[in-house]
Amino acid sequence: MAESKAPAKPRITAEQRKDWRNLPLADWNTLTVMTQIIDLNRERYGANPYIPTAGGYRYEQGVIKRALTLYGEGPLRETIERAFAEHRVTAQYPQLTAGFLITYMLPRIMAQVLAEGKRKERAESAEEIAEYL
């Protein structure tokens, strides 16, 4: 008996992965997050070109990959958006690098994002239970 296979999901190109505003979270990867950070630096601080932390792009890609694996795409995106909303650049540090954001800002902001997510889940569960009663 022949096995029926689901149609293969179309391959996402690098250009599509860079479209972080329109790409579904399920399709995000390190390139998507890096592009988001570079774009937000250019838009908010006029930082062009983007200059990575002393560890370079490989270091930043590593910390992004680790954060994606640990927390997921949605919480990481929310954390990055909050970090840019609160961060103030200085003459000495004219941009917000991925390395700094994830190493120093993520632990505090991510805790808030995850706690809010848990509260939202509990509220939704309570609403569902109330509907059945």
> pLDDT (tens digit, 9 = 90+) per residue, 89-113?
999 999 999 999 999 999 999 999 9
- For the stretch 5-18, pLDDT in tens is 767 778 899 999 99
Mean pLDDT (whole number) for 79-95 = 95
What is residue 34's predicted lDDT score, i.e. its pLDDT? Answer: 97
- Whether residue 49 has a cis bond before it, omega within 30° of 0: yes
What is residue 6's predicted lDDT score, i.e. its pLDDT? Answer: 66
Mean pLDDT (whole number) for 61-74 = 97
State the average pLDDT for the chain: 91
pTM of the model: 0.84
Given CA atoms 125, 70, 52, 88 in this order, what sign does their dihedral have?
positive
Percentage, residues of the chain above pLDDT 90: 77
- For the stretch 32-45, pLDDT in tens is 999 999 999 999 99
Q: Is the Cβ–Cβ distance between 109 and 115 less than 8 Å?
A: no
Mean pLDDT (whole number) for 68-95 = 96
- Please report, for the chain, the start and end positions of each structural domain, with discontinuous segments joined by +: 24-132
Using alpha carbons, select from 38, 1, 30 the residue that is nearest to residue 14: 30
Q: Does the pLDDT of residue 1 top 60, yes or no?
A: no
